[in-house]
Amino acid sequence: MIELLKLCGFEEQEMESELPRVEKAFTKLGITDEDIERGKQRLAKYYDIELKGVRKVFRLIVRELVAALLVRDEGKKKVIYGFMAPGIDMLGSAVVTKSKEAFVIHHCWAFHIVVGCIFGKMVPILEAAEKKWLKEGVVAHCANVKTLVGPITLGLFPKPDLLVTSGFMCETSPKTLDLLHELYDIPVWYIDTCQDREFREYPEPTRRIASLTAKSLKRLAERIQEVVGFEITDNMLREVQDAKGKLGDALRRLKDLVESSDPLPLSPTHDNIWMCLSTLTLSIDGIAEATEAINTLYEELRERVAKGLGVVEKGAPRVLAILPAGQTDPRLEHLACEVGIAIVAIDGSLAAPFKETSEDPYMKFGLESQQRSMSFPLRRRIPLIIEGCKKLNIDGVLDRFHVGCRSVVADALIIEEAIKKELGIPVLLLEWENFDPRVYNHEQYKSRFEVFKAMMTKKSS
């Protein structure tokens, strides 16, 4: 265990206090000695664990999960969970900065990384959810919601005082909470928004939608205040937004470096970790730690770039991937590197530039939340992807469609057609599940990647 924790960036001097906590938390998860060994191997194989910045990020993620698992044992009086709830990270960070007695966590992200990516133990969790109401098979429900229902029905996480979600992307998550409320008596809350933005309203964010989101988030803040028993002021939120802004800038700088370097200096297996880091409800000090970790990593990668070192050969075909990296399994991204494909970016990081902002932290959030590629309807999303491909000098697009998410899956074939027509570059269409490692088929993916690489190489030559 100590070795594993060291790989995850824990310092020698904190072992005394952290080791018993981690052991207790991992026991709750059913992590065995065998799992620990596998975890060490997976960390070494799939992640650039020799980089201090990567280790520091893992440390933050492991600590968050441990804290979530021990939340009641450690005397936290009020516990709030967020699930697919953009905005809860802002409110949650404000709460945990102010109070030692309240705990807010967007817990599934850390759970995905530790249980899925490190230990490779996501399957029993998914199966537990499938024994309830979340279907498996060719028309399976989104495995992301299974990673919420599984741990709750298995009793891994204590019952929260409030469980929050939104309908920013889909109805699956709110429906899941509806049932968790009815069947397990968990108090739930929904952040409202509306996806009625019309093409003619682009590129600027739509104020009416931002305003609805802001009002709904404000109402959630009032509800959280009732739970935790203290006020969440606008100033507290601004401080969180400032801290998160610095983290966002650091991540952007890191991504710019990765995107612009040849050879690719860091494996795309890390892409989901950045996403996880952005959504954790860290305290302001914790956000500063995260920012420092990313800055450390940036400097380490700059050294790699200066030395011409990379995870694929120089000149490897450059690929834009649609949708984020596998959240619970790093094998697909790792395989891409093995085959010699450089996944340099994901479309989720493509954002439309916009000028509008607001002094009101809720409104600021409402405006910013509309600008990401995945939040756009097709007619706007596709030009953004095409522009991104041109800007990043992309040789091919990995169009993996997350079958569990009906909200994004419908775009896949049209994206493929549009890219081929507009850019004439190869598109690899991959039926995919972002949260379910069972979809991974090494031989099939390997041969498809090899053909994809050959097509890109031929095209560029």
Partner 1 sequence: MQEERLAIHLRDRPAQLRDLKEKGVKIIGCFPGNYVPEELIYASGAVPLCLVHGGSPQTADAALSVVPHVICPFARAQIGERLLKNPYYSMIDMLVAPITCQHLKKVAEVWEYHGDLEIFKLGIPHQHNNDFELEYFTDRLIALKDRLQTFTGNEITNKRISGAIDLYNKMRELLRKISVIRRTSPSLVSALDFIKLNHASFYADPAFMVEILDSVYQELKGKQQATKTDRPRILLVGPNIGYGDYMVLELVRAAGGEIVIEEVCEGIRYYWNKIENKGDLFQSLARGYLVDRVPCAFMRNSAKKRLDFTLKLIKDFNVSGVIWYELLCCETYDSESYFFTQKLGEQNIPVLILESDYSTAATGQLKTRIEAFIEILKGGME
> DSSP alpha helices (H): ranges in 154-206?
172-184
In this chain, which stretch among 80-88, 281-289, 318-326, 412-420 interacts with partner 1, using CB under 8 A? Answer: 412-420
- From the number of C-beta atoms within 10 Å of its C-beta (0-12, 13-18, 19+), residue 103 rates as buried
Quote the least distance from Cβ 448 to partner 1, whole Å.
Answer: 17
Residue 400 carries which DSSP code? E
User: β-pairing, 318-322 with 188-191?
Assistant: unpaired
Q: Can residue 208 be called a binding residue for partner 1 (CB under 8 A)?
A: yes
Coil, strand, or helix at residue 104?
strand
User: β-pairing, 162-166 with 78-82?
Assistant: parallel
Q: Can residue 412 be called a binding residue for partner 1 (CB under 8 A)?
A: yes
Q: Can residue 19 be called a binding residue for partner 1 (CB under 8 A)?
A: no
- Helix 52-69 and helix 15-29: axis angle, to 10°? 60
Coil, strand, or helix at residue 357?
coil
* Token couple for 47: 């992640």
Quote the least distance from Cβ 188 to partner 1, whole Å.
Answer: 8
Q: The dihedral of CA 342, 343, 349, 354: what is its sign?
A: positive
In this chain, which stretch among 34-42, 57-65, 182-190, 285-293 interacts with partner 1, using CB under 8 A? Answer: 182-190
Q: Can residue 373 be called a binding residue for partner 1 (CB under 8 A)?
A: no
In this chain, which stretch among 43-51, 89-97, 176-184, 231-239 interacts with partner 1, using CB under 8 A? Answer: 176-184
- Using the rule CB under 8 A, which residue among 11, 27, 41, 194 binds partner 1? 194
User: What are phi and psi for residue 202, nearest 5 degrees?
Assistant: -80, 160
Site string for partner 1, 129-168 (x = CB under 8 A): ---xxxx--xx-xx------------------------x-
Residue nearer to partner 1 on the CB measure, 192 or 422: 192
How many residues does this entry show for the chain?
Answer: 461
- Using the rule CB under 8 A, which residue among 151, 174, 388, 437 binds partner 1? 174
- Using the rule CB under 8 A, which residue among 212, 335, 351, 423 binds partner 1? 212
Query: Rounded to whole angstroms, how far apart are CA atoms 230 and 227?
Result: 8
Site string for partner 1, 93-132 (x = CB under 8 A): ---------------------------------------x
Number of residues that bind partner 1 (CB under 8 A): 49
Residue nearer to partner 1 on the CB measure, 216 or 283: 216
Q: Which amino acid is at 293?
A: A
Round to the nearest angstrom and report the end-to-end CA distance of the chain.
49
Non-local (6+) Cβ contacts of 142 within 8 A are: 170, 172, 402, 404, 405, 435
Residue nearer to partner 1 on the CB measure, 206 or 295: 206
Residue nearer to partner 1 on the CB measure, 149 or 325: 149
Q: Which amino acid is at 295?
A: N
Q: Can residue 457 be called a binding residue for partner 1 (CB under 8 A)?
A: no
Residues near partner 1, by CB under 8 A: 132-135, 138-139, 141-142, 167, 170-172, 174-176, 178-179, 181-183, 190, 192, 194-199, 208-209, 212, 215-216, 219, 377-379, 382, 401, 403, 406-407, 409-414, 431
